[in-house]
Structure 1
């Protein structure tokens, strides 16, 4: 039997974090299964620079889940989110676990990371609701399909829109996870795009500043 790579106190810590985010603690087992898989693959494939499982819990799982309220309406309608440059599946996989109605396309061009994503989707039982698109963002041929796109530590707001804006429906939104409020990036948004909201996010166990910036086409319904 393979030893569990997770410390025994990790589940209560995660459950406490889920409560703080107004999410049910019952999500913990599936999220920890994902974390175990990530830890094991990370030993060989270097999927993330973070190695400590406690740090992963905060900076990967809880940080990704801090935006769950902003995909709730999409999930309730069975809508679809594209997670651009998802890496090892962040925030797309935690959001898919937390919001069972949400359909997620994990967009990742790195072959090793895409292989991990396919294995994670299979082992976590997320297919067909979650799918892996091994592709550069700008090459994804699904224009106008998605209710929202998201990106976490990928690029500037203008570059995200340049690469992936074509994927959004006319009323679709970019949900960009940022650290400090990105004043300079907002000032250089492409013509036709505008910020609808910028909201601070509270991540349990993380003292760093976090914001979610919501961008839509200027003529999109409010």
Structure 2
């Protein structure tokens, strides 16, 4: 499928399992409560379906909406979800910034994820209305990007009652890279 759709630069089977699947599943290691709760999740910039396809497969209680502005990517994820029989995964072709302005999308999600999409502030600004008042963002990052984003996010969003934190760093198998989650906690005021 990758050669037909040009979805990812990672083309080896080993790279696929490590850099896409293992990376996508790491969220359950650091946030195990997510796997046990029926929550609505938006995966922003879902690309080839990571983490949305993996999370929908592994955690049927999650109700996931995969969002991507590139038609061929959202079409691929929709096709894959259908072929895998994933009833808990919906796909939307669109831009988060535009969906964020639409009343029917506001307050809809308990969790917003994004993996290798944009700086945290961009994700926040383009999705802040989509998250419900008790929701949070969990962003997949490299440690360098996570640290850079952490200071910016805490400086800019504390006034909205959000505090941002970092998970411990973790290594992907076979020395395939180090990752870290940047995540929000609601500490009072609505955002």
Runs of at least 5 residues in structure 1 that lack an aligned partner in the other structure:
1-40
Superposition misfits of 4+ residues, deviation over 6 angstroms: none
Aligned to 2:178: 209
Query: Greater strand percent: which structure?
Result: 2
Using the TM superposition, give the Cα deviation of residue 198 of structure 1 relative to its aligned residue in structure 2, in angstroms. 2.7
Match of 1:134 in 2: 93
Distance 1:157 1:206, change over 3 A: same
* Count of matched residue pairs: 180
| Aligned 8 A contact 2:30 2:167 in 1 | no
Q: Which has the larger radius of gyration?
A: 1
Unmatched segments (≥5 aa) in structure 2: none
Structure 2 residue aligned with 1:50: 10
Shift of the 183–75 alpha-carbon distance from structure 1 to 2, 3 Å rule, reads: closer
Contact 2:19 2:176 in 1 (8 A): no
Alignment correspondent of 1:166: 129
Matches within 5 A, 1:1-222: 41-70=1-30, 72-127=32-87, 129-140=88-99, 141=102, 142-181=105-144, 182-189=146-153, 190-191=156-157, 192=160, 193-219=162-188
Would the alpha carbon gap of residues 207 and 48 (structure 1) be closer, same or farther in structure 2, given more than 3 Å must change?
A: closer
- Residue 44 of structure 1, CA deviation: 1.4
1:159 match: secondary structure: helix
TM-score, normalised via structure 2 length: 0.86
| 1:138–1:71 CA distance, 2 compared to 1 (3 A) | farther
Question: C-alpha deviations, 1:38-94, integer Å up to 9, x for none?
Answer: xxx211120111111111111111111111245543443311111000101101111
TM-score, normalization by structure 1? 0.75
1:59 aligned counterpart, secondary structure: helix
* Superposed CA offset, 1:88-116 (max 9, x none): 11011111111121110000110111110
2:173 aligned counterpart, secondary structure: coil
User: Offset at 1:205?
Assistant: 2.6
